[in-house]
Amino acid sequence: MNEFLTSFQTVSHPQTVEYIVVNLLIACVLSMLIVGVYRMTNRHRATNKSFILALVIMSMVVALVMMVIGNSVARAFSLVGALSIIRFRTVVKDNRDIAFIFFALATGMAAGTGSYLLAIFGSGTIMVILLILDFASFGQPRSGLYLLRFQYVTSDTDASSFAPLFKDLVKHSRRVSVKTVRMGQFVEHTYLIRLKKNVSEEKLIRGLSALEGMERVSLLSEDDEVEI
């Protein structure tokens, strides 16, 4: 039993300067490659410089933490207790950003423990798969789908007033919800629509906004998640 507990307190690699520098450099290089893949797969959206730098820093810091812990269970629990006082208040809006954070952390852990083959080939395989999925547009929603939301005064407008406009401009529509807002003064409709060919978003918005009693019209594209 004593030998089992002692095995967790021994460090498998000598803490030499060369070992420390190599681990940090590997974590840095691999995290920069991860950043490159992130930017390539995120080219249609705005990138945050702070987030990109954070990926590189986190990977190297985790590698350093893993070297500090070594095989010591006591050090691991001590670091968990020390780091528990940190509060992260930054909201990550994209789920893919969270995945890249875990990617950078896992790479730093592998580099920090001296698992060079696992760090290099593991992260390399994941990066290649991510590039292939991005090239194949994996998971991309069907183009031309929009979420249409508009409000109108109940006494001035009804469903029959915008039905002809839908017939002329909309290829397919499905009502998602209808409800009253602002203490019953307005009725809000939400539709999932697909525009007809050569029909612009602005044309639909202008047509709906021109109706009497129409209060607010918004169009959310599922392609780029931008509200028009």
CA distance 131 to 55: 18
Q: Residues of the chain with pLDDT > 70: what percent? A: 75
Name residues whose C-beta falls within 8 Å of residue 114's C-beta, 6 or more positions apart in sequence: 12, 13, 19, 23
Using one digit for the tens of pLDDT, what is the confidence trace for 119-167?
Answer: 999 999 999 999 998 888 776 655 567 888 888 887 655 667 777 888 8
Domain-embedded: residue 172: yes
Using one digit for the tens of pLDDT, what is the confidence trace for 206-228?
Answer: 888 888 778 788 887 765 544 44
Question: Which domain CATH number covers 178?
Answer: 3.30.70.260
Last residue of a domain, one of 135, 170, 199: 135
Q: 150: domain range?
A: 145-221
Report pTM. Answer: 0.61
Tell whether 14 and 66 lie within a shared domain.
Answer: yes
Domain-embedded: residue 14: yes
Domain-embedded: residue 157: yes
Tell whether 13 and 125 lie within a shared domain.
Answer: yes
Tell whether 101 and 170 lie within a shared domain.
Answer: no
First to last CA, the chain: 67
Per-residue confidence (pLDDT) for residue 38, from 0 to 100: 92
In this prediction, residue 29 has a pLDDT band, given cuts at 50, 70 and 90, of very high
CA distance 31 to 123: 9
Tell whether 122 and 150 lie within a shared domain.
Answer: no
Is the pLDDT confidence value at 32 over 90? Answer: yes
Domain-embedded: residue 152: yes
Domain-embedded: residue 140: no
